[in-house]
Amino acid sequence: MAILVLGGAGYIGSHTVYELIERGEDVIIVDNLETGHIEAVHEKAKFYKGDIRDRAFIDSVFEKEEVEAVIHFAANSLVGESMINPLKYYDNNLCGTKVLLESMVAHHIDKIVFSSTAATYGEPKSIPILETDATDPTNTYGETKLSMEKMFKWTSKAHDLRYVSLRYFNACGAHKSGVIGEAHAPETHLIPLILQVPNGQREAISIFGEDYETKDGTCVRDYIHVTDLAQAHILAVDYLRKGNESNIFNLGNGVGFTVKEVIDVAREVTGHPIPAKAEPRRAGDPAKLIASSEKAKEVLGWNPEYTSLEEIISSAWRWHQNHPNGFKQA
């Protein structure tokens, strides 16, 4: 029996596939390659190019393959884009998941682990954020992920299907092999953008807002290594294999860093002065997001390995130095 990874050519999906294969699992990848990269597909995984909104396609995969569980990363995930083009997010994230669930129910596939996000919480009322805290997204992306969680919840009540939803905080870093890493076009995330400066691709990093109520006025985030996220997916599959009930877990390091602190660590790691310039706030950015991941540690036995930001940024730096243009040839 195999694990089907939807979006397995993307950033977090490809890192999860590498960990699954290292562990000896059979892996099948489905990706439409809209934002994923064929170069990120592990050579030992079976690959189908296709879209989860295509019912005939997804049915054909379940008919040809013996799928034990699904890990679902296939979604659009840019907050800014989701505000400009909300219906794209409803279509891919929500309608895609509806088609997927219909096909899973029809084929009696009863386990799914799913990428959710800290964006489901919106502006938090208290820190660290617990899974039981209120969810009130401030952007379409977070809203569609929350709606996907609800779709799983109600489907699991009506059908023989259990799910684990993993709410990631700020995913970053790259695989230890140096073969895969973060490659978004356009890039919007802080760490890869900072590293474009020492890589000679950008003059300076912009700091979006210095007037937040935080220790140095810049936004605080909880940065978590992509390999630690990948491990949590494997633990979540094991959790469902043992017959446990559907559940939701936060995934973060539980430590917050300001934008200025992240830039300082990148200066140390790269030995480059990395000039920074103040810019206005970016719309929709909460001041502070820090996870409580105690539940994932207790229930799943998750134990993040990359707890130092220096180590996380070093792994990202190795990848970006060797792949300044992502997966494209230099």
| Residues labelled catalytic | 141
Give the separation between CA 249 and CA 288, rounded to whole angstroms. Answer: 19
Number of residues that bind ligand UFG (CB under 6 A): 22
201: contact with ligand UFG by CB under 6 A: no
What tokens does 221 get? Answer: 């985030």
Using CB under 6 A, which residues numbered 68 to 107 contact ligand UFG? 77, 79
Q: Edge-to-edge, what's the strand order for the sheet holding 162-168?
A: 46-49, 26-31, 2-6, 67-72, 111-117, 162-168, 247-251
Minimum distance of ligand UFG from residue 205's CB (angstroms): 6
Q: How far is the CB of 207 from ligand UFG (least distance, A)?
A: 5
183 binds ligand UFG (CB under 6 A): no
Q: Compare residues 280 and 301 and give the one whose CB is closer to ligand UFG.
A: 280
Comparing every residue's Cβ against ligand UFG, the nearest one is 219
Site string for ligand UFG, 252-271 (x = CB under 6 A): -------x------------
285 counts as binding ligand UFG under rule CB under 6 A:
yes
Compute the distance between CA of residue 46 and CA of residue 4 in angstroms, rounded to an integer. 9
Asked if 112 touches ligand UFG (CB under 6 A), the answer is no
Strands 220-221 and 257-258: antiparallel
Q: Pick between residue 172 and residue 300 the one whose CB is nearest to ligand UFG.
A: 172
State yes or no: residue 187 binds ligand UFG (CB under 6 A): no
Q: Whole-angstrom Cα distance, residue 152 to residue 267?
A: 43
Phi, psi of 87 (to 5 degrees): -70, -25
> To which H or E segment does residue 315 belong?
helix 309-322
Nearer to ligand UFG, 248 or 259 (CB): 259
Kindly give the interhelix angle for 259-270 and 309-322, rounded to the nearest 10 degrees: 60
Q: Does 190 bind ligand UFG (CB under 6 A)?
A: yes
Segment lying near ligand UFG (by CB under 6 A), choices 35-43, 182-190, 228-236, 317-325: 182-190
**Separation of alpha carbons 65 and 63, rounded Å:** 6
**30/6 Cα distance (integer angstroms):** 5
Q: Select 48 or 223, whichever has its Cβ closest to ligand UFG.
A: 223
224 contributes a contact to ligand UFG by CB under 6 A: no
Residue 141 as a binder of ligand UFG (CB under 6 A): the answer is yes
Under 8 Å between Cβ of 254 and 128: yes
Interaction of residue 208 with ligand UFG, rule CB under 6 A:
yes
Could you give the dihedral angle defined by the CA atoms of residues 82, 34, 194 and 321, in that order, rounded to the nearest 10 degrees?
170
193 binds ligand UFG (CB under 6 A): yes
Interacting residue ranges for ligand UFG, rule: CB under 6 A: 77, 79, 117-119, 141-142, 170, 188-190, 193, 205-208, 219, 221, 259, 282, 285, 289
